[in-house]
Amino acid sequence: MSDGQPAPLLHCGRHRLDLSYPRVMGILNVTPDSFSDGGRHVALDDALRRAEQMLAEGAAIIDVGGESTRPGAAPVSPRQELDRVAPVVEALVRELDALVSVDTSSPEVMRESAALGAGMINDVRALRRDGALQAAAHSGLPVCLMHMLGEPGDMQVAPHYEVPVEEAVADFLEARVAACLAAGLRPERLLLDPGFGFAKTVEHNLRLLHRMERLQALKLPLLVGMSRKSMIGKVLERPVEERLPGGLALAALAVERGARILRVHDVGPSVDAINMTWAVLQEGCDS
C-alpha cells in the first residue's frame, strides 16, 4: 500500500485473492427468509451443490449468510445463526476447498467460522456489535465493513442524511476504519462496502453509485452488492426474478467506478459482464 493504492493481494486464511482485477462473490443464503432465495439452500447438500455451481461459473468467493438482512428482517440469536452457518462453512472448506466469506455481525459466529477455515468476514454492521471488533481482530482474517444506519428491521423507515449521501457514507466508513486500526486490524485486512439498499432511498442509491469514486479516496478495496435489489425493481418496475439485466448494468458501472468485488446471486452472467467491462477499461493500459 506504499503507493497509496489498495493492496492487490488479499490474504484470506490459506487462500490468496488477487484484487488487481474485479472478482465475483457468490451469495449463499442459508436462511428461510432472505428476500430472493429464502429457504432454497437451507439443506446442507443443496447448499454444497449451489456453491459448487457458483465456483464452476467463476465465483472467487462464496459468501455464506445465516441471518437475513432484508428490510424488515427479524434478528436471530447467535446460536441459531451458528447452527445454520457452521456446517456449511465446514463442508465448503473441506469438500470444495472454497474461499468462504461469512456474512455475520456476531462475534461468536466470527470466531467459530474462522476456526472452521473461513477466509473472510463480511459484516453489514461494520463491527459495531459488542465484541465484534475484538473477534475480527483475533481471527486474522480480512473484514468487509459496510455502511448501514439503524438495523434491518427499521433501516428503510424514511432514511435521511444531512449531507450528500456519498459524503455520509465516506465519513461513516472512515470512522469505522479508524476504530478497526485502533483495535489492531491492519489496513491490508480491510475492505469497504457502500451498503446499497441499506438505509437508503432509490435516489440515495443512484447518487451513491454515480459518485462512488468518492469512496476510492479511502484507498481500500471496494465490495459492492446490488444484485436483485429493490432499486432495480423500482426503477425498471421488475419483480425479483426479472432483475438480472438491470443488475448487470449496475455491476458494470460499479466496476468502472472502482469496485473490486461484486457480490451477486447470478454468477455466470455477472462474471461475463464484469470481465467484458474490465477488458474495455484496460484497453491501452499496457501500451
**Rounded to whole angstroms, what are the CA distances from 6 to 72, 98, 137, 188, 200?**
35, 24, 19, 8, 27
Complete DSSP assignment for the chain: -TTSS--SEEEETTEEEE-SS-EEEEEEE-SS--TTTTTTT-SHHHHHHHHHHHHHTT-SEEEEESS--STTPPP--HHHHHHHHHHHHHHHHHHH---EEEE---HHHHHHHHHTT--EEEETTTT-STTHHHHHHHHT--EEEE---S-TTTTTSS---SS-HHHHHHHHHHHHHHHHHHTT--GGGEEEE--TTSS--HHHHHHHHHTTHHHHTT-S-EEE--TT-HHHHHHHT--GGG-HHHHHHHHHHHHHTTEEEEEES-HHHHHHHHHHHHHHHTTTTT-
Q: Are 84 and 31 in contact (CB under 8 A)?
A: yes
Kindly list the catalytic residues: 229, 263
Greatest distance between any 2 Cα atoms in the chain: 55
